[in-house]
Structure 1
Amino acid sequence: AGLQIGNHSWDHPHLVNMSSSEIQSQLSRTQTAIQNTAGVTPQLFRPPYGETNGTLKQIEQQLGLTEIIWDVDSNDWNNASSSAIRQAASRLTNGQIILMHDWPSATVQALPGILQDLQSRNLCAGHISPSTGRAVAPSGSSTGG
């Protein structure tokens, strides 16, 4: 299976402090850019900072987006060590989502240990279901995912 591409806003603002038209612009502009670049229209949206409200949810719905919020924060964005990131990931249970980023080196260093821990607990890295917004095991997986 391929990677999922989601919308995360145009420039990572605090959307809950913006007008409806500003939110619409942030999300629509990003949808268009991804469609034009990757040839796919995102179905998933994770609001910056995990901040959401009724206005944002209404616009997401209009654009066919499912909102994704994490269950566990790795704190990698706040200079957490690879050990602290692995510890955060060890709290994951079946179907949960962890907030992680691809730019901290500690996150990259933590991944092998995280994957090993998940496997030892009969869990796996999965993908996000656009219909439910929850983590699910990849098709054909034999783990609890």
Structure 2
Amino acid sequence: MALTFDDGPTDRTTAYLKALRDAGRVRATFFVTGTLADGQRAGTRRIVAEGHQVGNHSYTHPDLVQLDAATAFAELRDTSRVVRTQTGRAPTLFRPPFGSTDARTRRDAARLGMTEVIWTADTVDWSGIPTETIVANALTVKPGGIILMHDGLPTTLAAIPKIVQGLAERGLCPGRIVYSPTPVEAWPGLTFHAKAAPWR
């Protein structure tokens, strides 16, 4: 399974990275927005330097489906450029804000060399729930699944070691995200082509 964090980098990203190291040098995937990456350049570089994946989460976090074609494509293109400038390589993973996607969004991602990634376990950490509930929601994940969390939240930060421990007790270890030729169901009516796999 894979740990993923959206909406960074933030002023807490460094603490998230430390929590992952302290939990056993666990690696994760951070889906960054272009505006935040522009303002937290050291954060994006450090994510990569510590061995994590960086994905594209749009530039300004809009609902891409509601935008005209040119504006929607620019959201993806501009963030890929930011990540490439800061880290030396363009992202190969993309997560649409709010999980809102359609055929055009998937084509735009593919045009930029990215696989669309949704999730299979939503912690709902953004809603103000306590750390214990975030942990419980994360641990509903199945092998090969993808857990959605968010950067910048103290409750999520506190949940990281507990999630890693809970996964270990089930014999699961956080992995990287790769393309899946077999469709994966995010929720009824929406599938995507990504899964977790062991780090190489």
After TM superposition, is the score higher than 0.5? yes
**Aligned counterpart, 1:91:** 140
RMSD: 1.1
**Aligned counterpart, 2:94:** 45
1:106 aligns with 2:144: no
Equivalent runs, 1:72-91 vs 2, <5 Å: 72-91=121-140
Find the aligned partners of 1:79 and 1:52 in 2 and give their Cα distance. Answer: 25
Structure 1 unmatched ranges of 5 or more:
140-145
Letter of the aligned partner of 2:199 in structure 1? P
**Aligned counterpart, 2:111:** 62
Letter of the aligned partner of 1:76 in structure 2? D
Q: Which has the higher contact order (CA 8 A, sep 6+)?
A: 2
Give the number of the structure whose residues are more often strand, by fraction: 2
Find the aligned partners of 1:85 and 1:37 in 2 and give their Cα distance. Answer: 31
Cα offset, 1:38, TM superposition: 1.1
Whether contact under 8 Å (1:4, 1:127) holds in the other structure is yes
Letter of the aligned partner of 1:93 in structure 2? K
Cα offset, 1:33, TM superposition: 1.0
Structure 2 unmatched ranges of 5 or more:
1-26, 28-50, 181-193
Residues paired across the two proteins, number: 138
Whether contact under 8 Å (1:79, 1:104) holds in the other structure is no
TM-score when normalising by structure 1: 0.91
Cα displacement string for residues 60-116 of structure 1 (whole angstroms, at most 9, x for unaligned residues): 111111000011110111112101001101211100111101211111111111111
Q: Runs of 4+ in structure 1 displaced over 3 angstroms?
A: none
SS at match of 1:55: helix
State the identity as a percent.
37
